[in-house]
Amino acid sequence: MTARTAGPGQWLGPLAVAVAVACSPTERAAAPAPAPYLYVWAGDADTLDSDFLAVIDVRPGSPTYARVVSTLPVGARATVPHHTEHQLELDHQLFANGFKAGRTFRFDLTRPDQPRLLGSFTEVGGYSYPHSFVQLPGGHMLATFQGRGPDNIPPGGLVELDREGRFIRATSARSESFDSLQMRPYSLAVLPDIDRVVSTSTDMLADYGAHLQIWRLSDLSLLQTIELPRTSDGDGHAHDAPAKSKAEDHHLFPGEPRALADGRTVLLATFTCGFYRVTDIDGPSPRVEFLRAFGGENCAVPVLVGSLWLQTVPDEHAVVALDVTDPARPGEVSRVTFDSTFMPHWMAFDEGGSRLVVNDGKRRLFLVDLDRRTAEMRIEESFRDSAAAGPGVSLDRPDWPHGATGAAAPHGSVFSRP
């Protein structure tokens, strides 16, 4: 397992300069502390027992470091745990969806090592199969729902909820310009400063999706539906066979959009490893530009940390860091590479500790330390099971705090608040 930076020097981009200039000793002393726990939304592998939320101790030096200290079964099996929120909000509640069941569970994490189940919901306002959630400035949640009714009929839509999962308002993703049957809202970025939302459209159950949509945040009006620009010979790379998709088609299956610090630019990656920039979002003609491609296909969840875009690249067994200070010209500055059996999929960031959790959606998860000054990433070697041959924690185990239910598969994983 290796990590490298781009060239012999250190990456001292604007992020590092801003930290050095803006942070006095007092401010540095008041910086957020590292998270003490990690929450992992996990599915029972053989689907014979309940899916559950696991709590892992991530306090270096703790006698239970890297151990599962508690679990909370949700009383439902074979839900296929999928996305959680990407960070734990100040109210210590967490939304976590079991996508196959079309059900989202709500957890109270006020006592960080003893989660409590608050309830769950399925259809809201006629929309079904919720996928991703972002908290709005006022505290409500804005969610993508892939369909309507118990049969998950397209198109889906955006739904605003309160923190109890109750309906506030919604708008359909139906488009006049494109086939509405392909409008399956997947994930979203909220840009309150310009009164906009950018969502992507990729079907969770079928291999189609190539659009993004732009909405007005204040009334959830759908303003534009845009097909991502198709790539051509010479753009990026050709996928290795066998592949779901043809060579040079990096516009397919848009995934996670992220808003930059300017509050008006969005970057997004596709599951076919394309990387795009969205600008002029509040104007009459938003622009979507292909920037580059990552290696392989099936790229998954990214994390944006200041001017660093961190991208999971499963086929390269790596997380790749791009400097997006100039978002029109992103360049790789470092990467961390795992062993050949690990294909990173989900990732989340611990703001206080500058750590990433990276899991493969199958059995294993790692902690990765990020040096925000140099952009170097390093696998945390001490974070390992007591019986592990190398770093990382495996969910392939016979016993859990809630019983001998066997192996589990991790997906949405987030750090607790300090």
Predicted confidence band at 69 (pLDDT cuts at 50, 70, 90)? very high
Q: Residue 379 and residue 115: Cα distance in Å, rounded?
A: 28
Residue with tokens 């999962």: 165
Nearest to 413 by CA among 317, 344, 352, 320: 344
For 159, 265, 294, the CA distances from 276, given in Å and listed in that order, are: 25, 11, 11
pLDDT at 29 over 50: no
Nearest to 70 by CA among 109, 44, 26: 109
pLDDT tens across 244-265, in order? 445 558 889 999 999 999 999 9
pLDDT at 243 over 50: no
Predicted confidence band at 171 (pLDDT cuts at 50, 70, 90)? very high
Which of 42-46, 231-235, 312-316, 358-362 has the weakest average pLDDT?
Answer: 231-235
Identity of the residue numbered 336: V
Say what the pLDDT of residue 352 is: 86
Predicted confidence band at 180 (pLDDT cuts at 50, 70, 90)? confident
Q: Which residue has the higher pLDDT, 244 or 168?
A: 168
Provide the sign of the torsion angle of the four alpha carbons 134, 139, 142, 148, taken in this order.
positive
Identity of the residue numbered 398: P
Q: Residue 238 and residue 221: Cα distance in Å, rounded?
A: 38
Beta-carbon contacts of 354 under 8 Å, excluding residues fewer than 6 positions away, are 369, 370, 371, 372
Q: Residue 400 and residue 396: Cα distance in Å, rounded?
A: 10
Predicted confidence band at 179 (pLDDT cuts at 50, 70, 90)? confident
Say what the pLDDT of residue 22 is: 39
Say what the pLDDT of residue 31 is: 65
Within 10 angstroms of residue 194's Cβ, the number of other Cβ atoms is 14
pLDDT at 27 over 80: no
Identity of the residue numbered 309: W
Q: Residue 111 and residue 119: Cα distance in Å, rounded?
A: 17
Taking phi over 0 as left and psi of -120 to 50 as alpha, with beta for the rest, 163 belongs to alpha
Percent of the chain with pLDDT over 70: 89
**Tokens at 391, concatenated:** 């770093």
Say what the pLDDT of residue 178 is: 87
Beta-carbon contacts of 369 under 8 Å, excluding residues fewer than 6 positions away, are 354, 355, 356, 377, 378, 379, 380
How many whole angstroms from its chain centre is CA 9? 30
pLDDT tens across 348-362, in order? 999 888 999 999 999
pLDDT tens across 366-386, in order? 999 999 999 999 999 999 987
Residue with tokens 């839509």: 157
Which of 24-28, 128-132, 323-327, 380-384 has the weakest average pLDDT?
Answer: 24-28
Predicted confidence band at 387 (pLDDT cuts at 50, 70, 90)? low
- Please give the backbone phi and psi of residue 397, each rounded to the nearest 5 degrees, phi first: -145, 155
Provide the sign of the torsion angle of the four alpha carbons 164, 169, 175, 181, taken in this order.
positive
For 120, 356, 375, the CA distances from 101, given in Å and listed in that order, are: 11, 29, 39
Say what the pLDDT of residue 20 is: 36
DSSP line for 107-151? EE-SSTTS-EEEEEE--BTTEEEEEEEEE-TTS-EEEEEEEETTT
Nearest to 73 by CA among 115, 108, 103, 113: 115
Q: Which helix (H) or strand (E) holds 27?
A: helix 25-29
* pTM (two decimals): 0.91
Q: Residue 133 and residue 88: Cα distance in Å, rounded?
A: 11
Provide the sign of the torsion angle of the four alpha carbons 14, 20, 24, 28, taken in this order.
positive
Beta bridge partners of 222: 215
How many whole angstroms from its chain centre is CA 202? 15
Beta bridge partners of 292: 275
